Structure 1
Amino acid sequence: MPLVRISLIEGKNAEYRRKIGDVVHQAMVDKINCPPQDRFQLISEHPKGNYLYASEYLNIPHTDDLVVIQITLNEGRTVELKKALYKAIAEGLQKAIGLKPQDVFISLVEVKKENWSFGNGVAQYAP
């Protein structure tokens, strides 16, 4: 736990994509107590025609550099921890790859601990 899905428009190089994954993972370790060895990320590139987004939402402009980050994780973290995570990811991506903070879209999906199996057909976190 957690499982991270990162989506962006195709065309960025492998180093750019790796840096995104690195920043997201380090922010989770630093801000929401994710174990350092617990890294499961899926980075997907999409053709521009299949990557649809609002050019502006809630007075936040978005460009073709928009990175969508969906993190599925155990439920129970405070709003303060979530806010710290969002900030760390946005600031980290700006520093690492020059991504504008308004082009960082993050969604958390919280699940109960028993909803995970890390292999062997076993629910490792189930009571």
Structure 2
Amino acid sequence: MPFTRIAVRAGKPAAYRKALTQGIQRSLVEIFNVPEDDIFMVVTEHDQDNFFYGKHYLDIDRSDDLVLIQITANNTRTVELKKALYKRIAEHLAESPGVRPEDVFVNLVDVPKENWSFGNGIAQYAPPA
């Protein structure tokens, strides 16, 4: 059910981008109990003129290897689970493809279950009328 957007600076190889998606998906499976095949992700690359960030916001030293991750998911998780997810994503991405934890930015967007249609024009998670 999550939908994940990943933004990086242009020029990373395909294997790097794939490792990002795999690490994030493993984290979602482990922490949010998402089914293995419930994967909907897009990776976008941005050149320097279209990639802006606070290099030192909140005293975190970020580099041009910053990975911006936005996950839209059901609004059913506790704060503790969300914190565990952020930590696990940073751990997985440090392992592969080698992203520094300072360069892992995660934004979670909570939405009601009826805000999803996975195909066929049907709100699969919405309560029956």
| Counterpart Cα distance in 2 of 1:32 and 1:87 | 13
Cα deviation code 1:14-52 (max 9, x no counterpart): 000000000000000001111111000010001111000
Aligned to 2:38: 38
Q: What are the ranges of 5 or more consecutive residues in structure 2 without an aligned counterpart?
A: none
Q: Is 1:112 aligned to 2:112, yes or no?
A: yes
Aligned to 2:18: 18
Map 1:62-77 → 2, pairs under 5 A: 62-77=62-77
Task: Describe the SS at the equivalent of 2:96.
Answer: helix
Map 1:84-99 → 2, pairs under 5 A: 84-99=84-99
| Counterpart Cα distance in 2 of 1:83 and 1:124 | 28
**Which consecutive segments of 4 or more residues in structure 1 shift more than 3 A?**
none
1:61 CA drift (Å)? 1.0
Task: Letter of the 2:39 partner, please give it.
Answer: R
1:98 CA drift (Å)? 1.6
| TM-score calculated relative to the size of structure 2 | 0.97
Cα deviation code 1:55-99 (max 9, x no counterpart): 111110111000000000000201111111111110111111221
| Counterpart Cα distance in 2 of 1:58 and 1:94 | 20
Task: Describe the SS at the equivalent of 1:58.
Answer: helix
| Counterpart Cα distance in 2 of 1:29 and 1:92 | 12
Q: Is 1:8 aligned to 2:8, yes or no?
A: yes
Task: Letter of the 2:8 partner, please give it.
Answer: L
Aligned to 2:47: 47
Aligned to 1:103: 103
RMSD of aligned alpha carbons: 0.6
**Which structure dedicates a bigger proportion of its chain to strand?**
1
Task: Describe the SS at the equivalent of 2:16.
Answer: helix
Task: Letter of the 1:118 partner, please give it.
Answer: F
Task: Describe the SS at the equivalent of 1:71.
Answer: strand
Task: Letter of the 1:126 partner, please give it.
Answer: A
Q: What are the ranges of 5 or more consecutive residues in structure 1 without an aligned counterpart?
A: none
